Amino acid sequence: MVIMTNKILLKFAKKGINLSPKAYEKIKKLDDPLDFSSSLIVKLKSEEFSKKDLLSVSEEIVNEFINSEGLNENKDNKPKEIPLTNSKTEDKKIPNNKPNKIPITNSKTEDKKIPNETPIQKENSKIEEKIPNEPPIQKENSKIEEKIPNEPPIQKENSKIEEKIPNETPIQKENSKIEEKIPNEPPIQKENSKIEEKIPNEPPIQKENTDKKNKEEHAEKSEDIVEEKVADIDIKHSKRNINKTNVEYDFEIIQDTSKMSYTSGELDNLVTYFKNRYEKISKILSKRPELKSIQKISEIEEGQTSLSLILMVKDIRTTKNGHKLVEFEDETGSIPILFSNKDEELFKTAERLVKDEIVGVLAEKKGTLSIGTQIINPGIQRRPAKDMDFGIVFLSDIHIGSLTFLEDAFLKFVDWINCEYGSEKQVEVANDIKYLIIGGDIVDGIGIYPNQDKELAIKDITEQYDEAARLLGNIRSDIKIIIAPGNHDASRVAEPQPAVPEKYAKSLYELDNVEFISNPGVVSLDGINVLIYHGRGLDDMAFNIKDFSHEKNDLIMEELLKKRHLAPIYGERTPLASELEDYLVIDNVPDVFHTGHVHINTYRKFNGVHLINSGTFQTQTEFQKIYNIIPTPAEVPILHKGNYKLFKFI
Ligand code: D5M
Ligand code: FE
Ligand code: ZN
């Protein structure tokens, strides 16, 4: 709670807002103080208080805001007004995310899960003196913890996942091929040396497609990343193909939590939930050769010097000399382990630890002090490239119903996918598209953040989905559309989120080429496995890990794959429902990991897995202005015959 306290005050302080002690006491007691703080800041900054001078927030202002948002101090304080799908279980589930009701992060397992106290005493002050103070050297993106052998992955069954993970760094991409001449604009070099190209407003001269050649070579080595603006060529305008398609789809839903029976959300469930997370990730970790002879904390003997453990992170502190002191736990106890900043590589890994994640730890025990020597992430095996003779388009965060939704650009996108817009070559790509995935925030929803209604073009959730159905209904019917919910959709807020319910999206359900899935969800598209995750977990990672940011969400995706969890941090921004099973564990490594939510396009390939964030079709909102989030709207990623392309519609 101390950490939470500082975060609340800091949050307001950063925006030049001073909290009165009473106001602070009030906020602290709320179910989701940080989320509430964000909302209040948005209100204060966007409304009558938009002057620059230091604001002081009294208890009255807090009360007024609580009342105006219809919040109950003992209820989930999210200002979301969208009716929920599973109303029976909803109210009970969400309380699990409340820091003041259940001692989540720090002590969640203490009371019930850990009967025995650890034999190792915490003596932080002594530790600090023993290690000299040397600042860690920051190297970005320079190190991969995993040691991953080239073994074919075994799929679809947790118990079969083989995780011998020795040393291998991902092979760097060699984006050596530029397919087209760029007469209008010079290529802009971006991180990962992607090629950005603008296609001239004329049909380009056809050249031999390099895709086949690429397949011959090592996938990650010869990868072709193309970014291009879709040429402003209107070929013809026709209505949606209403005939039933003859295309054969090998479409399979691998993971969909929508129809699960949800838990009641009692404390017992939280314990079961974390136990399940621990067991699932332990199973992966225990295959690692370094962790062959692990023991439990309670089994550590007096005088024992080398430790090999599978542990959950309970708390992370930085000592006054800049080392990381991490309090770990398992079901038998807890243990503090120090990671010295003298060991650069190890320290960098320690800096990426987050609360509630599960890792393997090797340590040297000297008396009461344990010094970490290695942190072992579950990691992933290299994914071999698969043959793919079709294209998948990735969208998210369309935010239909918002005034900032870029309808014109979206209409161009629809025309392109219908093979009616773009250069000849771009239309050829469109012609190969078989699947379209929408990873959440299809509509803008209502009551998602304070004063959102001022930015809404459509103020009724059903009408928003009607509009979505009208727009998506113009897409040719031989493209299968897969829709997962996001935090703006009419699903419950806690993850895993069930599919967008028919009740609010009837018109979408009436389209015969649309499939609905939970968030997260896993589909197999003609053998290409795609993990779809809207991405609230990315927010927590961006805020908690040094060097990570919303812009670098590709690095976050890589880290989540290594951690084998979509939202490891419990009880901060991402509301997680404590189900009996932790569905946010990445059990099986996908071919594609698709996220959205942050409204910033990224692409990266990690150990053969395509990491794709599909950006948005919405320009910056007032809310995003406050967080200085600069979106990359109307840029559409495509996985075309195994190659990544980014087509821009503005
Ligand atoms: O998210 C749009 C953007 O706003 C995305 O970059 C994440 C960011 N976002 C969303 N909620 C929060 C909170 N609570 N704090 C900070 N940043 C946030 P969207 O889901 O479309 O609203
Ligand atoms: Fe969004
Ligand atoms: Zn979102």
Determine the Cα–Cα distance for residues 549 and 583; give it in Å rounded to an integer: 25
- Whether the Cβ atoms of residue 137 and residue 369 lie closer than 8 Å to each other: no
Looking at per-residue pLDDT, the higher value among 255 and 213 belongs to 255
Find, among 591, 450, 589, the residue nearest to 163 by Cα: 589
pLDDT of residue 242: 55
Q: How confident is the model at residue 423 (pLDDT cuts 50, 70, 90)?
A: very high
Q: Say if CB 361 and CB 587 are below 8 A apart.
A: no
Q: Which of 599, 600, 616 to mutate to test the pocket of ligand 1 (most atoms within 8 A of CB)?
A: 599
Statement: residue 76 has pLDDT above 60: no
- Ligand 1 in reach of 573 Cβ (< 6 A): yes
| Residue 619 beta carbon below 6 angstroms from any ligand 1 atom | no
| Residue of 491, 624, 625, 628 to test ligand 1 pocket, by largest number of atoms within 8 Å of CB | 624
Nearest CA to ligand 1 atom 20: 597
Q: What is the pLDDT of residues 4-43, one digit of tens each?
A: 445 666 665 555 566 666 777 787 778 777 777 766 766 6
Mutate to test the pocket of ligand 1, among 623, 625, 628, 630 (most ligand atoms within 8 A of CB): 623
Mode of pairing for the β-strands spanning 369-376 and 391-395 = unpaired
Say how many Å lie between the CA of residue 257 and the centre of ligand 3.
19
pLDDT band at 297 (very low <50, low <70, confident <90, very high): very high
Q: Which two tokens stand for residue 52?
A: 């620059």
Asked whether 543 lines ligand 1 (CB < 6 A), one says no
User: Residue 159: pLDDT above 80?
Assistant: no
- Please tell me the number of Cα atoms within 13 Å of 357 on its side-chain side: 34
Q: Which atom of ligand 1 is nearest to the CA of 573?
A: 14
Any idea which of 187-191, 235-239, 408-412, 414-418 has the lowest mean pLDDT? 187-191
Mean pLDDT within 55-67: 71
Distance 399 CA to ligand 3 centre (A): 9
Strand segments (E) across 162-305: 195-198, 226-229, 251-256
What is the Cα–Cα distance from 342 to 347, expressed in whole angstroms?
8
C-alpha 441 to ligand 2 mean position (Å):
5
For residue range 251-293, what is the model confidence (pLDDT) as tens digits?
999 999 997 766 666 667 888 999 999 999 999 999 999 999 9
Write the DSSP symbol of residue 320.
T
CA distance 626 to 606: 32
Q: In the chain, helix, strand, coil percent, each to 5?
A: 25, 20, 50
Taking residues 174-197, report their average pLDDT: 34
* 80 Cβ inside 6 Å of ligand 1: no
Q: Inform me whether the pLDDT recorded for 114 exceeds 50.
A: no
pLDDT above 70: percentage of residues in the chain: 67
Q: Residue 95 — pLDDT band, cuts 50, 70, 90?
A: very low
The reported pLDDT for the residue numbered 30 is: 80
Q: What is the pLDDT of residue 42?
A: 61
Compare 524 and 114 and report the one with higher pLDDT.
Answer: 524
Is the pLDDT assigned to residue 627 strictly greater than 70?
Answer: yes
Indicate if the pLDDT at residue 640 is higher than 80: yes
**Mean of all residue pLDDT scores within the chain:** 76
pLDDT digits (tens, 9 = 90+) for 562-596: 999 999 999 998 999 988 899 999 999 999 999 99
The 10 Å Cβ neighbour count of residue 155 is: 14
- Checking if the pLDDT of 68 tops 70, the result is no
- Whose atoms come closest to the Cα of 534: which ligand? 3
State which H helix or E strand residue 471 sits in.
helix 461-472
Confidence at residue 29, expressed as pLDDT on a 0 to 100 scale? 77
Encoded tokens for 157: 């069954």
Bridge partners (DSSP) of residue 56 are 18
> What stretch of H or E contains 26?
helix 21-28
C-beta 599 within 6 A of ligand 1: yes
Cα of 524 vs its chain's centroid, Å: 20
Nearest-CA residue for atom 21 of ligand 1: 597
Percent of the chain with pLDDT over 90: 57
Cα 204 to chain centroid distance, Å, stands at: 37
Beta strands in 340-468 (DSSP E): 358-366, 369-376, 391-395, 433-439
- Which pLDDT value is given to residue 74? 41
What pLDDT sits at residue 6? Answer: 57
pLDDT surpasses 90 at 185: no
Please write the tens of the pLDDT for every residue from 378-399. Answer: 999 999 999 999 999 999 999 9
- Token pair listed for 590: 């996908």
Per the DSSP assignment, residues forming a β-bridge with 394 are 437
Instruction: Say yes or no to pLDDT of 637 above 60.
Output: yes
Q: For residues 576 and 568, give the distance between their C-alpha atoms in angstroms, rounded to a whole number.
A: 10
**Are the beta carbons of 371 and 338 closer than 8 angstroms?**
yes
Question: Are 195 and 227 spatial neighbours (Cβ–Cβ below 8 Å)?
Answer: yes
Q: Kindly provide the residue ranges of all beta strands, DSSP E only, lying in 217-305, ordered along the sequence.
A: 226-229, 251-256
Q: Which of 74-83, 584-593, 602-611 has the lowest mean pLDDT?
A: 74-83
The residue with greater pLDDT, 556 or 226, is: 556
> Residue 197: pLDDT above 80?
no
Using a 10 angstrom Cβ sphere, with 0-12 exposed, 13-18 middle and 19 or more buried, the burial of residue 103 is middle
Q: How far apart are the C-alpha atoms of 258 and 70, rounded to whole Å? A: 28
pLDDT category, 226, cuts 50, 70, 90?
confident
Higher-pLDDT residue of 631 and 99 is 631
Q: What is the DSSP letter of 238?
A: -
Two tokens, residue 458: 């459509």
Residue 255 near residue 522, CB atoms below 8 Å: yes
> Is there an atom of ligand 1 within 6 Å of 38 CB?
yes
Ligand 1 touching residue 627 (CB < 6 A): yes
| pLDDT band with cut points at 50, 70 and 90 for residue 55 | low
Q: What are phi and psi of 483, to 5 degrees?
A: -120, 125
Give the other-Cβ count within 10 Å of 385's Cβ.
16
Are 613 and 595 in contact by the 8 Å Cβ rule? The answer is: yes
pLDDT by residue (tens digit) across 316-374? 999 999 999 999 999 999 999 999 999 999 999 999 999 999 999 999 999 889 999 99
Beta bridge mates, 400? 443
List the strands of the sheet with 480-484, edge to edge. Answer: 195-198, 226-229, 643-648, 635-640, 391-395, 433-439, 480-484, 514-516
Segment holding 442, helix H or strand E: none
221 band by pLDDT with thresholds 50, 70 and 90: very low
Provide DSSP, 555-610.
HHHHHHHHHTBS----SSSS-B---SS-TTB--S--SEEEE-SS---EEEEETTEE
